Structure 1
Amino acid sequence: MKNRIREFEKPRLIVLLILIITILFPLFVKGQERELSMAQALELSYHNNEQIKRYSERVEQKIYADKAAKGNFLPSVNLLFGYTYLSENMEVNTSQLKSSLDDLGGKYGAAFVEAYGDQIGLSGITSETAYSTIVNALSQLPAYNVVIDNQQIPTAAITATQPIFTGGKIIAGKKYAKAELETANIELKQIKNEIANELIERYLNVVLLNQVVKTRQQVYEGMLKHKEQAARAIQLEILPKHVLLRAQVAVANAEKDLNNDLNKLQLAKMALRTTMNLPDSEAFRVMDSIAYHHLSLDLDSLLNTAYVQQPALELINQKEIMAKQSHAIEKSKFMPNIAAFGTFNMLREDLPIIPPKFIVGVQAQINIFNGFKDINKLKASKHLQKEVENAKKYATQQIHLLVESNYINALNQQKLYTSHITTVDLAKENLRINTRRFEEGLGKSIDVIDASLLYEKSKVEQLVALDGYYKAIVNLYTAIGEPEKIIPIITSK
């Protein structure tokens, strides 16, 4: 008899132990865990996620590239220094100039005879005779090189170049760099939307499993209590012994389901931790539950928002700008390049040929022929523009389909959840009635077990439907480019 009493008390001790752990363990953990709202979890993801850090660096890169493009409008100033040492003095090779020098000497001589021939006794000689005589005489002389006595040549100068007209190339380059910066910002926004969608879904997974585990725990405790009541009734010979076996099976199944969902909860928290990039040493917990909020969705308004806010369409808009500017750059190659330049020589006295202090001027350059490369590149840029136009039309169609399909799914999930409300209320009342009937000796044990399982099933399905409803809304808001819009809706009371 004592052994029977001890066996009868074992389930009660187990239930008491579970209750103690259930009550005290959360209190102990709450003292160390950090409670994270969905908004706080999202901020952590934005701050810690490596993908967001990567795209943030790309934005910084494009900011400086855009600033660099502005520099093309300003003059380029260079300070030049140089030093040259010659192993020998330079010489002017007069053999290549001798005929010209002889001709020059003949002309000077003829002019001199014509001007001063009377004074020096050469009045009877004509300028032609003097020219031919001098040239013939000079041609008989050998060529002597002129030596420049300087083997060390330092150079120092300041040069400046200011573009005046480039056919629109500089302006197109600046607009292209600006479009690249906008593209980097949109890509950062796109990756943030993806991270937000992932974070919210994983956060909802943890909340859902917390609620499922809580429901499983309630059913498990109810099964234990029913098992205890069945065992007491068997001892009093009110019920047959096989009823206890059936209750034990129900308890085992409830425990199995509870442990299975506890494992799923652990995995869900690991996934959420990964998205937030939190270290394993930092404990956290999420919201205890979420309430249902009815949303009135307007498809036309959602589509209009998507056409403006959807990063995929924004990226194509920037690609369209870049294609247009690429065409402008290719077109500018058929225009002249005009630039003003200036040079100031600082060591002019040390140079073999002394240049002036200042040299200023304007130069124009235009390509006449380069193997038809420019004309073919110009044609290619036109087809690139048409390609982007077609891509924009296709992307718009796909965004329309994405938004509409998520809109329909959200409405279906909304209807599914509301259909479970009455079912859960009825299942809960059914469980209460059958439990009361059994306690009063009017009902069967199997009715209590079936009612418990029915309530558990309907309650879990309701929680899953609520989770599916909010995830459908998250996907819908992500499709229109505003995933964070769901957060105040979920967290409102």
Structure 2
Amino acid sequence: MKIILLFCMIVMTGTVFAEMDKSTFTMSEAISFALKNNPGIIASGKEIDMTALGVDAAKAAKMPKIDLIGNVTRSRYPAALTPISGSPLAGTEFPEFDNPVYDFGISFRLPLYRGGRLARGVHIAEVQKLIAEDIDTFNRQELVYNITSIVYKIAQLEKLREAAEAAEKQLDKHKRNVELFLEAGTVPRVELLKTEVELGRTQENVLRMSNSVESAYELLKTLMGIDDKRRLTIVKEVAPNDSYPSLEESLGRAFARRSDYQAVLKKQMLTDEKIKVTEGKRLPDIYLAAEYLDRAGEQFAFKENWSVALKLALPVFDGGLISTEVKQGKKEAEKVRQEERSLRFAISREIKDAYMSIENARQRTEVAQKAVETAKETLRIEILKYETGTGTSTDVIDADAALLNAETAYHQAVFDNKLAVAALRKAVGEDIYREVAVK
């Protein structure tokens, strides 16, 4: 049995290290990795743990408090070791006096009533924990959206690099044709110079695309919480369903699901509770107090004494402190209500903008796709014309540049469409692979 357990531990440990050293990810794997290792997400998780401890602290405030007490007191005059319990003239034993006096004992205090502040203190702590959880959920969805957009951007840049490399290859082939025609004396040297200039520009574009891809991967590593020098690779996977609800349904979902909006609603509840807690300071504090004490002088002949008391404290005058705190709380509540209105407007605008971006990107995709097909055919014709001596090198170069521009516009439109759908999902409180929902 011990051997089996040891084997299982080795396998599990190896699996963890394999995941940490992994360099090839699908988008869903990158998101899952980031949700576990992004420092911001880890920090927001710690915030939840802290607020959970705040709930424990609020509950502890309702419990009795027991303290061990002890002190040594030296006074100008000797002090009684026990209270005077009667008149010495009536035969009551007169207490001993000594200096210094040693006290050792235990005290007990149990709050019974504090104007509702004890129960509301627990409720406030619980709401603060719920707010921290909502903020954590929002941060996680924000991270999912950011990684999704970076992965989509990497895919776009790689497509643009492929298009630039294809243009470079075509221009290099065209350059060789120009050189042959130049040797045959059928074209001027300026055509070769123009081709070399355009080829250099295209090579520069390939290099720029490669640098952009590397920069995007570095940003992805930062979001995933990877701080080593490994080179990441994103591989394709089956794309999730890109369907989305109607505009009206999206607005309804957003106000029901958006964790940041839910956090603001809970913050309203929190401010109302804090106002009631402050108003509760006007009510009396009632608590049970008890004490058991042993007192002795220099001879350490301890005399015991105890007391039990039901105590009440009622504020009579505080210089207007409580009233001022209540007014501050009401101002804070009004501020939070305006924050809720502002966020509601922002969510509505965000959803509508996402819908417009989706429609715009889809229209542009259709147009750009047709433009790519036309540009490919134009380039084919211009190459054929040049090879048969009826076209010019400039026409071939222009056609090649037009194809690259058309492909750039097409891939940009595809990227914008995917990003707009992801933005809409985020706006309604969802994420692309439901990673946050199954946290």
Q: TM-score, normalised by structure 1?
A: 0.73
Displacement after TM superposition at 1:213 (Å): 0.9
Structure 2 residues not aligned, in runs of 5+: 1-20, 82-86
Larger CA deviation: 66-75 vs 253-262: 253-262
CA contact (8 A) 1:211 1:288 kept: no
Aligned to 1:234: 182
CA contact (8 A) 1:292 1:466 kept: no
Once the two structures are superposed, what CA deviation does each residue of 1:110-134 show, in whole Å capped at 9, x if it has no partner? Answer: xxxxxxxxxxxxxxxxxxxxxxxxx
Displacement after TM superposition at 1:148 (Å): 3.8
Once the two structures are superposed, what CA deviation does each residue of 1:452-488 show, in whole Å capped at 9, x if it has no partner? Answer: 2221111111011111222222333333333445999
Aligned to 1:262: 210
Pick one of 378, 400, 417 that aligns with 2:365: 417
For this pair of structures, how many residues does the alignment match? 407
Q: Cα 1:82–1:294, aligned 2, differ >3 Å: closer, same or farther? A: closer
Displacement after TM superposition at 1:170 (Å): 0.6
**Whole-angstrom distance in 2 between the partners of 1:91 and 1:267:** 82
Aligned to 1:81: 70
CA contact (8 A) 2:145 2:422 kept: yes
Once the two structures are superposed, what CA deviation does each residue of 1:5-38 show, in whole Å capped at 9, x if it has no partner? Answer: xxxxxxxxxxxxxxxxxxxxxxxxxxx9922222
Larger CA deviation: 257-266 vs 57-66: 257-266
Aligned to 1:150: 98
**Whole-angstrom distance in 1 between the partners of 2:296 and 2:425:** 72
For 2:174, give the aligned amino acid.
Answer: H
Displacement after TM superposition at 1:288 (Å): 6.4
Aligned to 1:282: 230
Q: Secondary structure at the match of 2:330?
A: helix
Once the two structures are superposed, what CA deviation does each residue of 1:249-307 show, in whole Å capped at 9, x if it has no partner? Answer: 33223223222323333333333333334235211122369989864541112111221
Q: Matches of residues 5-404 of structure 1 in structure 2 within 5 Å?
A: 34-84=23-73, 89-90=78-79, 148-151=96-99, 153-287=101-235, 295-346=243-294, 356=305, 358-404=306-352
Displacement after TM superposition at 1:71 (Å): 0.8
**Whole-angstrom distance in 2 between the partners of 1:68 and 1:307:** 32
Aligned to 1:112: none
CA contact (8 A) 1:35 1:284 kept: yes
Q: Cα 1:335–1:353, aligned 2, differ >3 Å: closer, same or farther? A: farther
For 2:70, give the aligned amino acid.
Answer: F
Q: Cα 1:290–1:454, aligned 2, differ >3 Å: closer, same or farther? A: farther
Once the two structures are superposed, what CA deviation does each residue of 1:303-355 show, in whole Å capped at 9, x if it has no partner? Answer: 11221232332221121121111111112122222222333335689999956
**Whole-angstrom distance in 2 between the partners of 1:271 and 1:196:** 14
CA contact (8 A) 1:243 1:445 kept: yes
Once the two structures are superposed, what CA deviation does each residue of 1:108-164 show, in whole Å capped at 9, x if it has no partner? Answer: 9xxxxxxxxxxxxxxxxxxxxxxxxxxxxxxxxxxxxx9945345332222222222
Q: Cα 1:487–1:362, aligned 2, differ >3 Å: closer, same or farther? A: closer
CA contact (8 A) 1:434 1:447 kept: yes
For 2:69, give the aligned amino acid.
Answer: L
Bigger Rg, which one = 1
CA contact (8 A) 1:38 1:487 kept: no
CA contact (8 A) 2:290 2:308 kept: yes
CA contact (8 A) 1:33 1:283 kept: no
Identical positions, percent = 18
Q: Cα 1:149–1:267, aligned 2, differ >3 Å: closer, same or farther? A: closer
**Whole-angstrom distance in 1 between the partners of 2:97 and 2:198:** 113
Displacement after TM superposition at 1:224 (Å): 0.7
CA contact (8 A) 1:212 1:460 kept: yes
Q: Secondary structure at the match of 1:333?
A: helix
Q: Secondary structure at the match of 2:235?
A: coil
Once the two structures are superposed, what CA deviation does each residue of 1:162-208 show, in whole Å capped at 9, x if it has no partner? Answer: 22222110111111111222222222233333333333223322221
CA contact (8 A) 1:162 1:339 kept: yes
CA contact (8 A) 2:372 2:410 kept: yes
Q: Secondary structure at the match of 1:73?
A: coil
Aligned to 2:6: none
Displacement after TM superposition at 1:69 (Å): 0.6
Aligned to 1:478: 426
For 1:77, give the aligned amino acid.
Answer: I
Structure 1 residues not aligned, in runs of 5+: 1-31, 93-100, 109-145, 489-493
**Whole-angstrom distance in 1 between the partners of 2:302 and 2:434:** 78
**Whole-angstrom distance in 2 between the partners of 1:51 and 1:429:** 50
Q: TM-score, normalised by structure 2?
A: 0.81
Q: Secondary structure at the match of 1:164?
A: strand
For 2:131, give the aligned amino acid.
Answer: T
**Whole-angstrom distance in 1 between the partners of 2:33 and 2:139:** 15
Displacement after TM superposition at 1:43 (Å): 3.2
Q: Cα 1:209–1:156, aligned 2, differ >3 Å: closer, same or farther? A: same
For 1:396, give the aligned amino acid.
Answer: R
**Whole-angstrom distance in 1 between the partners of 2:191 and 2:285:** 99
